[in-house]
């Protein structure tokens, strides 16, 4: 459980080599494309009938219509436990507060007298939001996907989540209740790659979308890769992961609990402790078995912690630890060190950073106000988490008057001929000759 990697006592390798030494879940999306491709093509060609047959075969649910009735969405909210409803309402309020500050305003720049460029921010027309429902029904993901889309001003929002045999072939009631609280009334009981195909091609009453967001399993991710271009996607999400950078001031009880909480998601989830303290590492390893035994999904957690994607990395100092976590580029990164905020401000690569002993990843999963749809598998080196920006497109409006164009006609002419594109130059020169 949680194998050790000792990087103390010698210079750290380069970033690429270091990243290769660190624990990471192996997911081969290409390997499942052969399964996903005919499934998506079947939905494209046969539409709703294909969706019905695939859902019956894979999910054990045979429903003539996979659109969730409005009354079922209302009923889910009516039946929601008051404590869960209150928590969802608080989560929605906090996520809205944070994401409202991400709203973009149009900006006009006067380049010269008579010449301006305006950047307009325009929401996508229609989005499909995927909410997983396999090992855990992620009702919190409804909040994380819907709220930024609404703040961006997306006019048409559809949600898809897998049907549950225990709930009459409908998605999890908590997912439906979250949709009701957010005012989303277009929901489909369809999961996996077939849900992405429904969004991409349209099927039944679901019209095609322009963008698909939300996490999912490897089949969902493969379908997103396959349909990318036809639709926009947020990311190719892999198994979830947490890295914790800790020194001897960290509480081993907290550290063990946080590693376990992320391992609870999936047998492929990654849990990595990077520490300057061998004593802390020993204490965490001593605590983990007891904490795992006391929780519900112990088998799943043990599989994740025993896997090659999890481990303990020993480093000489916090600077070396920062180099390691930047090379790892975790989806979730906790900083439990002296001057945790100062250390966190030096992090370059992470989906989200959780600062200090009282900011566990679980807080961000639900109610911190941050977004929990984050880049995985090292993609935090170049990608960001879901935000209002995900649902917006920047469009430049170029407005020059006759005089402003005349002033740069010579420059256009010079550059056009340098690129051997004389018709470009002629399009400006002809205007000057009229």
Q: Is 90 exceeded by the pLDDT of residue 111?
A: yes
Q: Are 266 and 240 in contact (CB under 8 A)?
A: yes
pLDDT for the residue numbered 147: 98
Q: Express each pLDDT in 4-15 by its tens digit.
A: 999 999 888 888
Distant-in-sequence, close-in-space partners of 2: CB < 8 Å, separation ≥ 6 = 259, 271, 273, 284, 285, 288, 305, 310, 311, 312
Q: Percent of the chain at pLDDT above 90?
A: 88
417 is in an annotated binding site: no
332 is in an annotated binding site: yes
Q: Are 278 and 246 in contact (CB under 8 A)?
A: no
Torsional sign, CA 344, 345, 349, 354 = positive
Q: Are 308 and 5 in contact (CB under 8 A)?
A: no
150 is in an annotated binding site: no
**Beta partners for residue 160, in sequence order:** 130, 188
> pLDDT band for position 366 (50/70/90)?
very high
Mean pLDDT of 205-219: 95
213 is in an annotated binding site: no
| In the chain, domain spans | 3-27+238-369, 29-106+123-236, 401-430
Catalytic site residue from 331, 396, 399, 417? 331
Domain 3-27+238-369: state its class: alpha beta
Active site residue 119: no
Q: Is 90 exceeded by the pLDDT of residue 271?
A: yes
Average pLDDT value over all residues in the chain: 95
130 is in an annotated binding site: yes
Catalytic site residue from 332, 399, 402, 407? 332
Q: Is 90 exceeded by the pLDDT of residue 3?
A: no
Mean pLDDT of 339-360: 98
pLDDT for the residue numbered 334: 98
89 is in an annotated binding site: no
265 is in an annotated binding site: yes
372 is in an annotated binding site: no
pLDDT for the residue numbered 142: 97
Q: Express each pLDDT in 392-426 by its tens digit.
A: 999 999 999 999 999 999 999 999 999 999 999 99
Mean pLDDT of 272-295: 96
Mean pLDDT of 61-72: 95
Active site residue 264: no
pLDDT for the residue numbered 407: 95
Q: Is 90 exceeded by the pLDDT of residue 260?
A: yes
Q: Look up the CATH number of domain 29-106+123-236.
A: 3.40.50.1980
pLDDT for the residue numbered 336: 98
> E-assigned strands of 91-214?
107-112, 115-123, 126-130, 156-161, 187-189, 211-213
């Amino acid at each position: 459980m949680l194998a050790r990697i000792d990087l103390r006592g010698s210079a750290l390798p380069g970033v690429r080599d270091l990243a290769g030494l660190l624990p990471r879940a192996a997911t081969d999306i290409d390997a499942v494309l052969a399964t996903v491709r005919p499934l998506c093509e079947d939905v494209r060609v046969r539409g709703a009938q294909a969706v019905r047959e695939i859902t019956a075969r894979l999910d054990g649910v045979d429903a003539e219509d996979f659109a969730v009735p409005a009354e079922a969405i209302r009923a889910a909210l009516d039946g929601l436990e008051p404590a869960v409803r209150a928590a969802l309402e608080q989560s929605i309020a906090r996520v809205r507060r944070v994401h409202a500050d991400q709203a973009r305003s149009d900006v006009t720049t006067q380049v010269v007298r008579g010449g301006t460029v305006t950047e307009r921010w325009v929401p996508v027309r229609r989005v499909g939001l995927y909410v997983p429902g396999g090992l855990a029904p992620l009702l919190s993901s409804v909040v994380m996907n819907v709220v930024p889309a609404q703040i961006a001003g997306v006019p048409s929002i559809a949600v898809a989540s897998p049907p549950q045999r225990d709930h009459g072939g409908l998605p999890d009631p908590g997912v439906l209740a979250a949709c009701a609280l957010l005012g989303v009334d277009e929901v489909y009981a369809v999961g996996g790659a077939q849900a992405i195909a429904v969004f991409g091609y349209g099927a039944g009453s679901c019209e095609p979308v322009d963008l698909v967001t939300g996490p999912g399993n490897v089949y969902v991710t493969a379908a997103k890769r396959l349909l990318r271009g036809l639709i926009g996607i947020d990311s190719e999400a892999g198994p979830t992961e947490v890295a914790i950078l800790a020194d001897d001031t960290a509480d081993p009880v907290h550290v063990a609990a946080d590693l376990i909480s992320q391992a609870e998601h999936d047998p492929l989830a990654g849990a990595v402790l990077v520490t300057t303290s061998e004593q802390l590492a020993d204490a965490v390893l001593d605590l983990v078995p007891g904490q795992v035994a006391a929780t519900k999904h112990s088998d799943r957690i043990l599989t994740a912690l025993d896997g090659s994607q999890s481990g303990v990395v020993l480093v000489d100092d916090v600077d070396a630890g920062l180099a390691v976590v930047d090379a790892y580029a975790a989806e979730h990164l906790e900083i439990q060190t002296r001057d945790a905020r100062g250390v966190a401000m030096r992090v370059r690569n992470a989906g989200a950073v959780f600062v200090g002993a009282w900011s566990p990843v679980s807080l961000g999963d639900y109610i911190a106000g941050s977004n929990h749809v984050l880049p995985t598998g090292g993609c935090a080196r170049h990608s960001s988490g879901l935000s209002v920006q995900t649902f917006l497109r920047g469009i430049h409006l170029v407005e020059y008057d006759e005089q402003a164009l005349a002033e740069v006609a010579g420059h256009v002419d010079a550059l056009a001929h340098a690129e051997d594109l004389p018709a470009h130059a002629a399009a400006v020169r002809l205007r000057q000759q009229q």
